[in-house]
Amino acid sequence: MDKLWGGRFDREGGRGAEGFTASLSFDRRLYRQDIAGSIAHARMLARAGVLTAAEADQIVAGLREIEGEIERGEFPFRVELEDIHLNIEKRLTEKIGPVGGKLHTGRSRNDQVALDMHLYMKETLVRMRERVHRLQAALAARAEEALNGPDGPVLMPGYTHLQRAQPVLLAHHLLAYFWMLERDQGRLADCLGRTDVMPLGAAALAGTSYPIDREFVARELGFAAIYPNSMDAVSDRDFLLEFLAAAAILMTHLSRFCEEVVIWSSYEFGFVELADAYATGSSIMPQKKNPDVAELARGKAGRVFGRLMGLLTVMKGLPLAYHTDMQEDKEAVFDAVDTLDAVLPALAGMVETMAFRAGRLRAALRGDFSNATDLADYLARKGLPFREAHETVGRAVRFCLDHGRALEDLTLDELRRFSPLFETDALQALEPASVVGARRSAGGTAPERVAEQLAQAKRILFSREAGESMVGECCR
């Protein structure tokens, strides 16, 4: 029987379920991690006296050859061997003889697959942080352009309930997404810390009777710690759930931004023009320019959400320790990783190349009553209780709506019909630039405050580029 666990079974036993139970179709992407873990394990076994140095060298050389075969597309994958682990081990024995069968001493596929996923996720999380970083850098760069434009800072309407609320700087709006992504960076970093724990040596669930050195293997593979409990080591998938949760929140932020891009690029808004590379046309309507990249990224958020809920459902009822149900973790994680690997670079490129229509953004503020709060604040500073000031300005807005006017069109005499507290300087308070400039509270949209947060964002970007390694080394 070809199966490496087949002694207990008759030669034809289980043949009908091979295709159902096999995971090779998706876990073959773990070959580098599997080989890296096996090399470290072999070296540890030699160090512990379980293998001779010559046997360990044979195993390592054979594994290196197998890695080359896989990368050249020459490896004879066999679905009847179920998974990447058994495929590599069987091929190793074919290449170097019976000594290849000694590699699995002191370990189980339970801790082996857990190790592979930890190695895979360590590398993946580093890459995801790099890709989020690029998008953050693009947002900060566009914010800086909008803050220091040739005609001054670019103003735009700010919204609540998708209704005009108060004027803000375009730079302020863009930086809001920078800070969302910075929280995503924190979640990914936290997940990386909890992923950086090595399960190998737990064996099936109870540890092993061989004199293994788990700390040595952890050092060889670049792990910060080992699992203190062997049962937890083989059954823990929290680090994958945590990644999927972080990925789902990240996709929420990306989807929100894409929704704005879709709205802003519409004819009705016209706030932004997408580069042709990030839009498509219509097969029937020659005039169309559709924001397909933003729409597709928005749609893919649901895909990642589903993967999180799927794995939570798999894990919620499993007693200790390992169960084959956990095989379902890989397709969920791989799909979420592939989705982010596609979405993040696409959105970074879209942000880097989109053109904001500063004139259209500024013009949108004309007559939208987003300066009403400042008129109420003016009266409050004159001593009128804010609730009365709110009521007074509300009556002024009603007057404008009834007569087709804008607040900034009213004369001082017309304003004084609503309150004798209005003086000449009230007219200046209605100007959009004055409205924005008055928002000087910490984190506000006044140009000097936005300049401060932009400087803070740039310091974060520089610090990450200069002081934090973004290159995964775990499987090299």
**Residues acting as catalytic residues:** 161, 282
**Whole-number Cα distances in Å, 400 to 72, 367, 414:** 73, 10, 10
Q: What is the dihedral of CA 98, 104, 109, 115, to 10 degrees?
A: -130
What is the DSSP code string of 136-165? HHHHHHHHHHHHT-TTSSPEEEEEETTEEE
- Strand ranges, E, within 161-319: 163-169, 197-198, 225-226, 272-273
**CA atoms of 226 and 233, how far apart (whole Å):** 9
Asked whether the bond before 442 is cis by omega within 30 degrees of 0, the reply is no
Q: What is the token pair recorded at 460?
A: 């974060």
| DSSP three-state, residue 226 | strand
Provide φ and ψ at 134, rounded to 5°: -60, -40
CA nearest neighbour of 272 among 358, 366, 165: 358
**CA atoms of 317 and 416, how far apart (whole Å):** 70
162-184: burial string, b at 16+ Cβ within 10 Å, e else: eebbbbbbbbbbbbbbbbbbbeb
**CA atoms of 461 and 227, how far apart (whole Å):** 33
CA 12, chain centre distance (Å): 46
**CA atoms of 406 and 73, how far apart (whole Å):** 70
Q: What is the token pair recorded at 390?
A: 């709110």
| DSSP three-state, residue 181 | helix
Residues 6+ away with beta carbon under 8 Å from 271: 156, 264, 265, 356, 357, 360, 361, 364
Q: What is the token pair recorded at 318?
A: 């499993």
**Residue 223: CA atoms inside 13 Å, Cβ hemisphere, count?**
27
**CA atoms of 340 and 36, how far apart (whole Å):** 25
